[in-house]
């Protein structure tokens, strides 16, 4: 089958873009297809963890991101019911483990666009958009993808390997018949954005990342820089009842819940709001023959802890490293691709799924005795230097990357 030796990538989200850039930087020809005409300024990922900053720094991406983001050196868990700060975690405690002892609050589209700018200067990088991948086949020699081009015609493109970074609804994963077991949370999530400054002392003195527990209406409050760098605050709130999507995404409903969770100086000017269904799922395998899944096509999780994009970027860099070795004849695909699955799939379950579920459970606990115990236990971790170090190693995904890389 193989007419063209390049590596094909479906999807130019953060995962596809960074994998493609990594490969092209190593002189490996790559073509990325994306169905969208341009990067969408989605209100999705906004936290880039120390583990990911270390990787992106090696690729020259971080220097383009620092000027577009906010350094978040601490994050807090709060209890709105008892009106207290439960735990504050300071990345300074892991300064001996990372070159970046902070998270960077920077929107997903800035990560994609900064990487795309660097990649586009490389001769081996080819981004085709809007091109929609509609199918993929493979044999012993290569892969062939079918795409719909901008004029609506069908085209075939061949290559040696395919990275499916086409998001949670991955057409490639479905085409390969790879199961995506897990579950969908009963409640929907609303994300709403305002310019109102919750960081000021009279407005709660919030950090850039705050997880606020409450037995009935928990929330998360995150600051991002915004495109003009003047600052935006995003609240993430669950919609628990059986009201329609239309009702819970209405200005009135969002304003009421916003005010209930953050009663400082409402009404807030809501400049954006969106409704999501949230899933916890991990694909039954991350590789099949010459095709690998990476990012949301391989695993999805709730956004508490900001780990989906980070884990996806780690997948993308892990598989790109292996494809470079295969390309140069330094490793065998039949050994390295299954190793990718062992390293990344196992860790996605052990770290990202476990931590994101635990984060949600602690915020939403409604049994008053249990919630007090859980929140006090979290406070005790933050107050103990060794346990805090361990917690930060896990939540910043440094422990996950190290364990993955040590997995044979």
Ligand X SMILES: Cc1cc2nc3c(=O)[nH]c(=O)nc-3n(C[C@H](O)[C@H](O)[C@H](O)COP(=O)(O)OP(=O)(O)OC[C@H]3O[C@@H](n4cnc5c(N)ncnc54)[C@H](O)[C@@H]3O)c2cc1C
Binding of residue 44 to ligand X (CB under 6 A): yes
Cβ(159)–Cβ(142) below 8 Å: yes
Q: What are 4's two structure tokens?
A: 């063209």
Part of the chain binding ligand X (CB under 6 A), chosen from 27-35, 75-83, 255-263, 368-376: 27-35
Q: Least separation, in Å, of the C-beta of 52 and ligand X?
A: 8
Site for ligand X in 119-158 (CB under 6 A): 132-133
Q: Which is nearer to ligand X, 39 or 371 (CB)?
A: 39
Site for ligand X in 60-89 (CB under 6 A): none
Site for ligand X in 153-182 (CB under 6 A): 165-167, 171
Binding of residue 351 to ligand X (CB under 6 A): no
The rounded distance, in Å, linking the Cα atoms of 366 and 327 is: 53
Q: Which of 87, 191, 401, 404 binds ligand X (CB under 6 A)?
A: 191
Q: Least separation, in Å, of the C-beta of 209 and ligand X?
A: 9
The rounded distance, in Å, linking the Cα atoms of 39 and 12 is: 8
Instruction: List, edge to edge, every strand of the sheet that includes 7-10.
Output: 125-128, 30-33, 7-10, 161-164, 291-293, 287-288
- The count of chain residues that interact with ligand X, using the rule CB under 6 A, is 33
Binding of residue 276 to ligand X (CB under 6 A): yes
DSSP code per residue over 60-116: T-HHHHGGGSEEE-EEEEEETTTTEEEEEEEGGGGTTT-S--SEEE--HHHHHHHHH
Part of the chain binding ligand X (CB under 6 A), chosen from 42-50, 88-96, 115-123, 279-287: 42-50
Q: Which of 8, 9, 10, 178 binds ligand X (CB under 6 A)?
A: 10
Quickly tell me which residue has 């409604």 as its tokens.
366
Binding of residue 185 to ligand X (CB under 6 A): no
The backbone region for 364, taken as left when phi is positive above 0, alpha when psi lies in -120 to 50, beta otherwise, is: alpha
Q: Least separation, in Å, of the C-beta of 346 and ligand X?
A: 18
Q: Which of 97, 107, 287, 296 binds ligand X (CB under 6 A)?
A: 296
Q: Which is nearer to ligand X, 80 or 299 (CB)?
A: 299
Binding of residue 55 to ligand X (CB under 6 A): no
Q: Which is nearer to ligand X, 18 or 371 (CB)?
A: 18
Strand partners, 128: 33
Part of the chain binding ligand X (CB under 6 A), chosen from 33-41, 113-121, 225-233, 334-342: 33-41
Cα 399 to Cα 57, 72, 306, 405: the distances in Å are 18, 20, 16, 10
Q: Which is nearer to ligand X, 166 or 287 (CB)?
A: 166
Q: Are strands 132-138 and 143-148 parallel, antiparallel or unpaired?
A: antiparallel
**Quick one: which H or E segment has residue 118?**
helix 108-120
Q: Which is nearer to ligand X, 36 or 368 (CB)?
A: 36
Binding of residue 193 to ligand X (CB under 6 A): no
The rounded distance, in Å, linking the Cα atoms of 153 and 219 is: 46
The rounded distance, in Å, linking the Cα atoms of 17 and 66 is: 19
Binding of residue 56 to ligand X (CB under 6 A): no
Q: Which chain residues interact with ligand X by CB under 6 A?
A: 10-16, 33-36, 44-47, 108, 132-133, 165-167, 171, 191, 276, 295-296, 303, 306-310, 312
């Amino acid at each position: 089958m193989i007419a063209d030796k390049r590596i094909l990538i479906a999807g130019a989200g953060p995962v596809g873009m960074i994998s493609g850039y990594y490969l092209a930087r190593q002189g490996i020809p790559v073509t990325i297809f994306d169905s969208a005409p341009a990067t969408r300024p989605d209100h999705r990922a906004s936290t880039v963890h120390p583990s990911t900053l270390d990787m992106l720094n090696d690729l020259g991406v971080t220097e383009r991101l620092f000027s577009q983001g906010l350094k978040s050196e601490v994050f807090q868990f709060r209890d709105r019911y008892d009106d207290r700060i439960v735990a504050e975690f300071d990345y300074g405690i892991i300064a001996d483990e990372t070159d970046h002892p902070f998270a960077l609050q920077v929107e997903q589209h800035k990560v994609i666009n900064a990487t795309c700018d660097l990649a586009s200067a490389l001769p081996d990088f080819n981004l085709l958009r809007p091109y929609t991948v509609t199918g993929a086949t493979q044999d012993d020699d290569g892969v062939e993808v079918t795409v719909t081009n901008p004029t609506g015609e069908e085209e075939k493109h061949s290559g040696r390997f395919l990275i499916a970074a086409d998001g949670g609804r991955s057409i490639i994963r479905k085409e390969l018949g790879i199961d995506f077991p897990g579950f969908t949370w009963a409640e929907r999530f609303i994300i709403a954005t305002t310019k109102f400054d919750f960081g000021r002392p009279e407005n709660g003195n919030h950090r850039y990342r705050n997880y606020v527990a409450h037995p009935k209406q928990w929330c998360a409050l995150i600051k991002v820089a915004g495109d003009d760098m003047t600052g935006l605050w995003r609240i993430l709130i669950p919609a628990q009842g059986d009201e329609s999507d239309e009702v819970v995404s209405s200005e009135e409903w969002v304003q009421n819940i916003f005010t209930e969770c953050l009663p400082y100086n409402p009404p807030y000017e809501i400049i954006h709001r969106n409704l999501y269904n949230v899933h916890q799922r991990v694909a039954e395998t991350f590789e099949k023959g010459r095709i690998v899944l990476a990012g949301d096509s391989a695993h999805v999780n709730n956004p508490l802890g900001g780990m989906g994009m980070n884990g996806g970027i780690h997948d993308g860099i892990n598989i790109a490293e292996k494809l470079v070795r295969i390309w140069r004849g330094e490793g065998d695909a039949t050994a390295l691709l299954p190793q990718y699955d062992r390293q990344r799939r196992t860790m996605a379950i052990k770290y990202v799924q476990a931590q994101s579920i635990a984060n949600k459970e602690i915020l939403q606990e409604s049994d008053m005795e249990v919630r007090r115990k859980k929140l006090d236990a979290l406070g005790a971790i933050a107050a103990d230097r060794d346990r805090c170090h361990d917690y930060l190693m896990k939540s910043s995904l440094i422990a996950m990357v190290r364990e993955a890389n040590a997995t044979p």
